[in-house]
Structure 1
Amino acid sequence: MKNIKLSVLKKTDLEELAKFVVEENFSHHDEKTPDIQNIMDKEIKYIHDEELCFSNSKILVAKNYDDEIIGSIRTLRWNYRDKLPIERMFSINLKELIDINQYKVWHIGRFAIKKNPNETGIRLFKTLMACAINEVCMHSNVVAVAECDIKLLRTLKILGIEAFAITESIHYLGSETVPVILPYGGLKNFLDKHRHLLCSKSQQLHQGVVLVNHQQYYTFV
């Protein structure tokens, strides 16, 4: 069994993150689209450039001892000026859907876990989720938004995280992807059950856990 290192990603390493997120999305869904490499290269550049524009985001990555990313998640406190990925992808205006005078809005994205089942487990999945939700749930007057694979959407509900679709799904990065709102209540319930998984960026996460089939892992983009 190996140990996993958790750390906050530096802006200088955004290209590595973008490459990991895009490649893992297509890997999970076995996409066979023609000219797939060209499509992936464009998405990698777009995600890199988009993340570079966000000044108030925090990206947590899990790495193995070969210093390879095996998991990632990003939280972003919306400043109401930047156009979020969910707005761009689905042509929606969040200010028309959420009362920004009442709620602080967070975006959760770039959530991916390496497909290789020998390197990842359900503990890593839940740990990354708990760390992101902990950032969001500092106050109760918050909601989170995300665009996620429909299979992950079912998994979130099984874990007790409420998620409500905003509009119709689209095909993105190899899978059916839907925009969702994640209310505070469901996020807080998950966090309370898994608070023991929280750790500082310097702490090591020991992977002495039962591994699950990699087909159960899906992604926020």
Structure 2
Amino acid sequence: MILFNPPDDDLLIRKYETISLYQIGRSNISELSEFVFKMYSFHYLKKYQWSSSIRELESMRQSDMDHFDESVYFGFRNSKQELLGTIKATKRTENIIFPIEYEFDIDIEKTIEKENLRVDEVWHLGRLAIDSNLLRLQNTSIQSKRMLQLLLIHSLSVINHQPNNLMIAESDVLIHKTFQDLGLDMQIIGDRKNCLGSPTYPVILKFENMDKWLDENSMQEKSLIEVFL
């Protein structure tokens, strides 16, 4: 059972200098999908010469709407209410299948058994995107790496709301290295494949590693999750 009530409108979580973090509401999910697609298109065309299509945008938008009731979406906004960075945590149910399963052919139950894990809930982390160019124009000391850390703190706090929860994700190779630089030990569990134009790993993050990272990074940030759980 989901422990939060997804809002219809954006819910302010906390202000950070001149920018603010929100839980994104149902009315703005399409905006979030378009922001993420725009960021993916920009970065992956530049890095990998990937040409995006409107079909992929529509697929992302539909997926975000379908997952809304089982998800928490976060977004940083500036004073003009423009999105600067986003992330999404979604609880796995029998009706939800993630790319790590159908794109990478990963059997989550077999992975749990192989790793000898006790798992109560499986959560997927996705829709991570940051507009570094727009962020640099804001009057704030928060840079992309700090924003990524804050997005991870809040989203992983949702996933980590009880012991024995497991995080799964599809991680771009460069983002995976950034996760490692931040001290977040996301374990690669399969072969690398191209996903939305980007070389991508299927990864998991075990509860004990997630819990340790959250404790080390910011206890006060972790406690803020109680506002909307």
Shorter-chain TM-score bucket reads 0.7 to 0.9
Q: 1:172 to 1:84 in 2, by over 3 A?
A: closer
**Equivalent residue, structure 1, for 2:43:** 28
1:47 and 2:64 are equivalent in the alignment:
no
Unaligned runs of 5+ in 1: 204-221
Distance 1:162 1:110 in 2: 19
Distance 1:10 1:94 in 2: 29
Q: TM-score, normalized by length of structure 1?
A: 0.80
Unaligned runs of 5+ in 2: 1-15
> Is the 8 Å Cα contact of residues 214 and 222 (structure 2) preserved in structure 1?
no
1:79 and 2:93 are equivalent in the alignment:
yes
> Is the 8 Å Cα contact of residues 169 and 202 (structure 2) preserved in structure 1?
yes
Distance 1:12 1:165 in 2: 35
**Equivalent residue, structure 2, for 1:185:** 208
**Equivalent residue, structure 1, for 2:190:** 167
**Equivalent residue, structure 2, for 1:154:** 177
* Greater percentage in helix: 2
Give the deviation of 1:2 after TM superposition: 6.1
Q: Percent identity?
A: 24
Distance 2:40 2:17 in 1: 24
Give the deviation of 1:75 after TM superposition: 0.8
Distance 2:25 2:187 in 1: 32
What's the C-alpha RMSD, in Å, of the aligned pairs?
2.5
**Equivalent residue, structure 1, for 2:6:** none
* C-alpha distance after superposition, 1:145-200 (max 9, x if no partner): 01011111122122221111121111223321111011112211221122244585
Give the deviation of 1:110 after TM superposition: 0.6
Q: TM-score, normalized by length of structure 2?
A: 0.77
> Which of 75, 85, 88 matches 2:102?
88
**Equivalent residue, structure 2, for 1:212:** none
**Equivalent residue, structure 1, for 2:76:** 62
1:115 and 2:128 are equivalent in the alignment:
no
Distance 2:161 2:31 in 1: 29
Equivalent residue letter for 1:14: I
Q: 1:198 to 1:65 in 2, by over 3 A?
A: farther
Give the deviation of 1:17 after TM superposition: 1.2
> Is the 8 Å Cα contact of residues 28 and 115 (structure 1) preserved in structure 2?
no
Give the deviation of 1:101 after TM superposition: 9.1
Q: How many equivalent pairs are there?
A: 198
Q: 1:189 to 1:101 in 2, by over 3 A?
A: closer
